[in-house]
Chains A and B, each alone.
Chain A
Amino acid sequence: MADLSVTQEDVSVIRDILLREKSEGNPNPLLPADVDLDGDGTADSFGLDVNDQVIVVPGVRLENTLYESEGDDLNFKDES
């Protein structure tokens, strides 16, 4: 179970993050509260309700959230 505790400052920042994503065309942005703690590929996530207030959405698949992991620190380059 992810730690879902948030301060008022967290709620404000999370809301800003999600509203910005929404304004950029993502109708239902979800921000992982933690990353796949139990290895099932899902994460409890923060989302917005119909009044744009921050809510918790449990068990969202990571690919349906804002989660990205590009691996650009892997220094991909053609050595062949």
Chain B
Amino acid sequence: MSGYVYRDGARLTPYMLYQVERLNADLKRLFGVEVRVTYGIRLHQEQIDIFLQRYVTAANVRGRKVYDTRVWKGVRYYRISNAGTVAVPGYSDHEIQGTDSALDLRDTGRDAGIATMGSARSNWLRANCGKYDMVATGFQFGEAWHYKIRNIYKAVPGAPAGGGATTPPAAPKKRRKPMTTAVVYTNDEQDKNRSGAIVDLSNGVFEPFGWFPVSYADDLAQAYGATSAAKVTRAHYDALKSAAARRASLLGKVQVDINDEDVPKIGA
């Protein structure tokens, strides 16, 4: 997606930056230090790269110290770096997971403060991270600097319209189909063709469109904005026609009675 912003070289959404700056203001006010972002959002290839920097396959361990293992694509990998564990590509908090991502944080203090488990500043952030839409997930695997951050596409409060919100790539809008409209066709076959009609019972519509090849049924339904095409018996077809006529009468509409036989056979 476009619309990323950067702080300390780390990739963020505007909402992530907004929360980091809120945290920064509080850290300055309370402790006199500033926050630094070591890692933010990682693209998938970046996750692969960092994973392969720290993990090797069995054949490449070669007597080195190993800290943990992970299985990626059916192969066990061995971590030979003590810099930190790395999730298997596709499963990292740092890769965007829905509307969540992750931040690795430290501060400008002598001991890195918020990144050091058990320090006063780390304890403070662990207790207060929810105020910044963060979750202290790193403590579960010995990484006090690692926080999940939620709602990363949320608009930045107070930002001018269009100036603070990012959204995930928009999915193509699905055409809303009227639920009451259907295409029905009879099961009495004539040379592989069927007799069909558009039906909208709530509006008293029953409009035969003639004979058509069976293979067109779904395409016809889509063309008429119907949810599906339904094959019905001739008796049911006629019953739907009568029901639509009654509804049209109740609505005070004049339904033009089009006889199926009056509709030209398509392709004839």
Contact = CB atoms under 8 A, between A and B. Distances in A.
Interface of A: 3, 5-7, 9-10, 12-14, 16-17, 20, 31-36, 39-41, 43, 46, 62-63, 65-76, 78-80
A74 to B, nearest CB: 5
Contact of B68 (A63, A67, A72): A67
Interface string B187-205: 0000000000000000000
B170 to A, nearest CB: 32
A41 B83 contact: no
B141 A66 contact: no
The size class of the interface chain B forms with chain A is: 35 or more
Given A5-B71, A40-B140, A10 B106 contact: no
Closest 5 CB pairs of A and B: A79-B108, A32-B68, A3-B71, A13-B58, A73-B83
Interface in B91-150: 104, 106, 108-112, 115, 137, 139-143, 145
Most chain B beta-carbon neighbours within 10 Å: one of A10, A20, A40: A10
Given A34-B68, A35-B85, A67-B85, 19 more contacts: A5-B76, A10-B58, A34-B69, A35-B68, A40-B140, A41-B141, A43-B68, A67-B68, A69-B67, A69-B83, A69-B143, A70-B84, A72-B83, A73-B84, A74-B112, A76-B106, A76-B111, A80-B32, A80-B108
20 contacts: A3-B71, A5-B74, A5-B76, A13-B78, A31-B68, A31-B69, A35-B141, A39-B137, A40-B140, A62-B142, A69-B82, A69-B85, A69-B143, A71-B145, A74-B112, A76-B106, A76-B112, A76-B115, A78-B108, A80-B32
Contacts of A41: 139-141
Given A31-B68, A35-B68, A36-B140, A70 B82 contact: yes
Contacts of A74: 38, 104, 106, 112, 115, 145
Contact of A62 (B33, B58, B141): B141
Contact of B141 (A16, A17, A69): A69
A67 B104 CA distance: 19
Nearest to B61: A13
Interface in B51-90: 58-59, 61, 63, 65-71, 74, 76, 78, 82-85, 87
A41 to B, nearest CB: 5
Contacts of A66: 65-68
A76 B112 CA distance: 6
Contact of A69 (B33, B61, B74, B84): B84
